[in-house]
Amino acid sequence: PCHFMMAFIGRNLLLLLGTITFLPESFSLATWDIGDEAIEFTSEWYTSHSLEGTESPIYRSIASIMNYQPSMPLPPDAMDPPTNCPHLASGLKEWDDSTLVWTHSDGTTFTGPPIPDGNDIILPPDTSIILRPGILSGTHDSPYGKITIPVGSKLIFDDDGLGITTLHTLAIVLDGGELLAGSPTCRRSHALLDIILHGEYNANSSETSDRHLKEVAGADFEVKGIVVKDSPTSLWDFHGPLYHPTWTRLAAHIPGSVQQETSAPSTRNRVLYLQDCVNWPLDGEILVTTSRVKDTRDYDYNERGIIDSVRCVTIDSRNYGEVTVKEPLMYYHHAGAHEYQSEVALLTRSIVIRGNDKSDPTDITPLTCTSSISGWTTVPCSDIYTTGLGGHTAVLGEGVGRIRGIEFRKMGMTNVLGRYPIHYHHCVTGEEGIVSDNSIRDSYWRAVTAHDVFKLLIERNVAFDIIGHAYYLESGVEEENFLMYNFASFVHAIGGPAVMQNQFVPSWEAYEDLKVPADRTASGFYISNVYNTVIGNAASGGWAGMQLPVFPQPIDPTLRFNGVVPKDRPTLLISGNSVHSSGFFSQNSGAVYAGGSLYWEENDEASTTLKYNAGRVGSIRLTRSSKNDDGSDAWLQITNTTVWLCNVGSTGWGRRSEISGFEVHDFQRRSIFVLFTVWLNEIVMNCRTSNAPRVPDVGTGSVEKALNDGTKWSGFFTYDHLMKHILTNWKISNCGGEARGLYPWAENGDDIEDSTGLITVPVNGFAPEVQLISSGWEYDWDTLGGTNFVYNSSLFFSGSGSDEFHSMQHMSNWVDADGSLTGRTDTGDNIVLGPAAGGEWWHLDSRPNMCETRIDWKFPQILCNRGNRQLASYMTFVDNAGSSSMSGAAQLLHPNESSNNLRKVRQGSMTHFGLEGDGSIDACEPPTPCQETTSRSWDADITGPYDHSFHGGWYLQWDAGTPAHMRIERIQMIEGTTLINAMSLPPSLTAADVSVWAESYTRRHDFLLVENLWEVRNTIDTYYFDDTTSTLYWSIITGYVDTDSTLSWIDREVNGIQTFSRGGLSVVDTTGQSQYRLHIDLDCETDAVTGAFCEEKPSFNVPGMDCPQDMVRVAIDLCGLECELDDSCQENTSHPTETPLTAGPTDSPITNTPTEAPTDAPQTNAPSDAQTDQPSPTSNDPDVRISLLKISNRLLNGGQKWRTAISMTLRDTLWNKISGVSVSVSWMDINDSSNNGVVTKTTRANGKVGLNLPKFNTNQVDGVVVSIDSISVDGYVYNEELNVEYGGVECPIFSNGCQSVIINKPEA
């Protein structure tokens, strides 16, 4: 068995992994005995079965756009001759052998054969008994009692195809014995076997339903079951004939006799063409799944048919299955090339295990109830289908179950825990087990359940008409199992489906008619632990098709405290799955849904009552945070998925996710909606297919008619804050006005609404951080109405929600890394998108062709070349009483406003340096567009563009006055860059009234007051107070105060805030609330209302750019010639000069021979990376030079030590910043030449490098001599002579004339 099992799994995995993206054509089974031989059928097929003479059959490689759905592999033993057949073994005894001695459960014995009188029987010891057709005499009214197979005994079913073996019994219990029908190497022929499980002996009961046995069945596993008991010799081996594939998809649509919506001939309602050849049996029953968006009992467009004939036909050298059913199908079933196709599944098997005729639920009406939730006019009723009590099977402990090719019908006991059609329970033999090729239909609770089982193979099964979750990993500890190529359809919630308008919903508890509260979201696949292999499966219908719920603990009370955290387990493999006609009852959860929390309350260790929340839960305990075994962060990974006919394609609330390869068609609301840190790669968004016009409205509710309402849906809906989204390699088709049915694209179509857009931004959301970057977007222009769709179609970019909120309307942002999103691919630069309503805040550059405004978009955006600029965000709080998102003073100033309404109330404004600005306290309140000054509400976040190395900064203003105490935290920016802030102080304040300090975990570092802004730009812990204008300047960094109270840039890896990078793109994380805070305290009289603002009001005075003479502001960070603003400069105009290569002022003397560094470095503009008028390199080895040098000195440890930091920027002759340059500087003690060393580091992407010299003892080292030891990078030559080219002084530091600099220790 082990050898067979490993070969079986290994072959399947190999086949899958080799074809996950590029799928082979269907297997040809023409050699099988399946009817007529394969024939060339091309011309006849086209003439008899074509759609207007143009339709071709759909083969797998054109089934969808990216073909993420793998074909089902043929089992490796399919053609092997049978061996080790148990019915052919020697020494078998006949069931009716009168010499055999049987035992009753009370210990009395009798000679055979047994009679069907309801009495329990035990097989004779150490005896192998064969059951042949026609031998058994049990009936529905007179079943055999419980049949127990003891150790050493076997009950074997014959494989004689001439008759049917029918066994009526109360139960079959394998108490160390074996129950056999075939073997792993001997699949049965088509001999019929029918096992009917009864709850009690009918002759003694007048009951019409077995539901009265619920309590008895709940207490006794053996009631109405096949039970493999916990024994290493207990073996259930059933191996029905192989039908391949067990399910496939249509190769041509079915027009339907009732809904004739195509010109395909009516013969196609009986003659079905399939993507695979099949060997399905005549008179077998098949299922064709719905092509509608809703799938419930009262809206059932699945169809069943009886097979009349089967052929394998060849069309254009490709093989297809042709199945003819006896009666024509009624409804349209879709099959569209490069779209999707309805599944076709075989329901029939020759071995049947089923519940008796008293199994059915009795509470089956009414099906439809009125909905109390807006959007849905009707819902399935909540109090129906709760009384089914069918048969069940269970493989326990060390027992082994190998179950292949069985039809389970009327199985499962609704709300009786542990009583399911197929159930592996605390099974330690999972690696030996097989659940394959089975059909589970008309089930009253679940299809296949694995409970505390590992390495179990569950593959090629078909589940149809299932109550509760179908394929169910029960407790959350189940790992390394294989769920492959299974199919689930027509799945029903218990207690009525959870209807969700919003992402946040109340929890509910288990009760008698809802034992597992998660069954209100019954889904095709319920994967409670993602450390399993889940590949090639398909789901039709269900609350979700595939649900990955959140379990903070195993939900089995016996496993609850075993240390496993199911929600945080890493992904093993989830790939190649598909879902459709699912997710109808939720506006936010997807057809593939990583959400829904099933839990006990944490502080209630004795509780036995489970709770469930179907939506997003704010609790960390109920949020997925995937971890590797070593505790490091992991990502929920879902690959190669296809979804169609849904509200939302996929949704997830976990902390970290990677969705790579996701194709979605015909969604009603959104294509994909995954929160927090997410990589969305290879996403295909085909908004509408040829099936969409054929799908009628379900009802009159907004959700029920959403598929045909082009005014509502959004292709991609961004989120407001706390996200880091990288979107790479998206493909967009059929999303324009014609597909939406909107005017003027569609005559008499609906008018466009403001929220109608391919991309929609929640303009009523919280303030955003820097969280969206994309590349590699492609558009199928023919289906979108041409390139106009992106450039100026109102449908491309929209905003959703009230326009009274400031933050998202002014600070939402998106970085289009290669211009493919917006069509600006010719700039060779990143494109920054920011709201046009934000005014000049997102107008990065005033020079021609650097920015444009897409004014025709519903949510107009400014698009600018990014250049050297970065985006940053942080939170500001004006007192210590604030929440995590808003200052406490807001409520004191506006006591009648809710916290949500305070996000509509203006707090103040922000303005880039160099603009005049607007100091009025009601400037540009939404929806009024902003101009030079941009308003902000009481949302704490500020987000915007910056590069303040030479010029520029953010000027902040508060309408209530200057904050007496302000703290800045949760900072998001690139290390080594320069972000300058300023605010006006009351006129009476002096520098002595100001204190600026940083804090990390209560450790404090005080900033130093310096004499000019240049020093602030070139250091990380200084501030400057300009007493002539009462303006305070400071710098923002992602800092960290160490245990010795020194301040440096934070080490992201050590502190767990690493940059998120995927696909060549990155989004940096914010610093934690306690990791770094910047405080600004002012000694002023405060206002009487809040005590948070200075009573004396400041003036509104935006700092200038301090451009050199004859230069003007040309960008938020650059000065240039005025002619640059209209592109009228002459070609020979000299490039503006950069800041000289001298050390800026520090708090220690820096000697530079022969010329001393000036105390005020002149502020000249930095050249733009976008300019190309630099001289070209004159050799194959371009020169590299230092273009900017900063030196800073600090006393440490209360003056006991001192340290020097040197930073520099390296550029080539084209003035490009160079990364990967190895820079080494040497140092030597000025008094002791033996005390020396070398420091080496490499430049980052921005061309910058920072080198920290060692800490020196103040009493031992008075100063050091520093010089360049080496600068090296492949393809470049360091040329120190070039260091003077932009210097502007006689002898810049590290130039050929002044190769060394003496740095003295700072004074106390």
Written as six digits, the tokens of 309 are 């004939």
Contact 439, 406 (CB under 8 A): yes
Contact 1188, 1231 (CB under 8 A): no
DSSP collapsed to 3 states, 206-273: CCCCHHHHHHHHHHCCCCCEEEECCCCCCEEEEECCCCCCCEEEECCCECCCCCCCCCCCHHHHCEEE
Strand partners, 674: 652
Q: What is the rounded (10 degree) CA torsion for 627, 630, 631, 632?
A: -70
pLDDT at 35: 30
Q: Is the dihedral of CA 1099, 1105, 1107, 1113 positive or negative?
A: negative
What distance separates the 2 farthest-apart alpha carbons in the chain?
A: 121
Strand partners, 1257: 1201
Q: What are phi and psi of 1119, to 5 degrees?
A: -110, 150
Rounded CA-CA distance 783/740 in Å is 11
Rounded CA-CA distance 751/1269 in Å is 69
| Closest residue by Cα to residue 982 from 1004, 1005, 958, 960 | 958
* pTM score above 0.95: no
Indicate the SS3 state at residue 82. Answer: coil
User: Which residues neighbour 714 within 8 Å (Cβ) at sequence distance 6 or greater?
Assistant: 669, 670, 755, 756, 757, 758, 759, 760, 798, 800
Pairing of the two strands 724-728 and 714-717: unpaired
pLDDT at 1197: 72
| Closest residue by Cα to residue 1272 from 1187, 1210, 1228, 1227 | 1210
pLDDT at 260: 57
Strand partners, 997: 1006, 1079
Rounded CA-CA distance 1013/1081 in Å is 19
Indicate the SS3 state at residue 571. Answer: coil
Contact 660, 730 (CB under 8 A): no
Rounded CA-CA distance 260/1270 in Å is 80
Rounded CA-CA distance 404/806 in Å is 61
Q: Is the dihedral of CA 1071, 1072, 1075, 1078 positive or negative?
A: positive
Q: Tell me the CA distances in angstroms from 415 to 360, 418, 467, one per residue in order.
A: 14, 9, 10
Burial class (CB in 10 A: 0-12, 13-18, 19+), 1175: exposed
Pairing of the two strands 979-984 and 482-484: unpaired
Rounded CA-CA distance 1070/1067 in Å is 10
pLDDT at 818: 97
* Secondary structure element (H or E) that encloses residue 4, with its range: helix 2-19
Q: How far apart are the first and last CA of the chain?
A: 81
Where on the phi/psi map is residue 1028: left (φ > 0), alpha (ψ -120 to 50), or beta? alpha
Strand partners, 686: 665, 733
Indicate the SS3 state at residue 276. Answer: coil
Instruction: Count the Cβ atoms, other than its own, within 10 Å of residue 576.
Output: 28
Q: What are phi and psi of 381, to 5 degrees?
A: -65, 150
pLDDT at 1279: 78
Per DSSP, the chain holds a count of helices (H) and strands (E) of 10, 86
pLDDT at 1282: 73
Contact 443, 463 (CB under 8 A): yes
Rounded CA-CA distance 1109/991 in Å is 29
Rounded CA-CA distance 1127/1173 in Å is 13
pLDDT at 1297: 67
pLDDT at 1145: 31
The residue ranges of the chain whose pLDDT is under 50 are: 1-54, 1132-1179, 1286-1289
Rounded CA-CA distance 494/526 in Å is 15
Indicate the SS3 state at residue 366. Answer: coil
Rounded CA-CA distance 458/402 in Å is 10
pLDDT at 283: 97
Rounded CA-CA distance 287/333 in Å is 11
Strand partners, 861: 835, 854
Rounded CA-CA distance 170/207 in Å is 16
Q: What is the rounded (10 degree) CA torsion for 252, 257, 263, 269?
A: 30
Contact 572, 487 (CB under 8 A): no
Where on the phi/psi map is residue 993: left (φ > 0), alpha (ψ -120 to 50), or beta? alpha
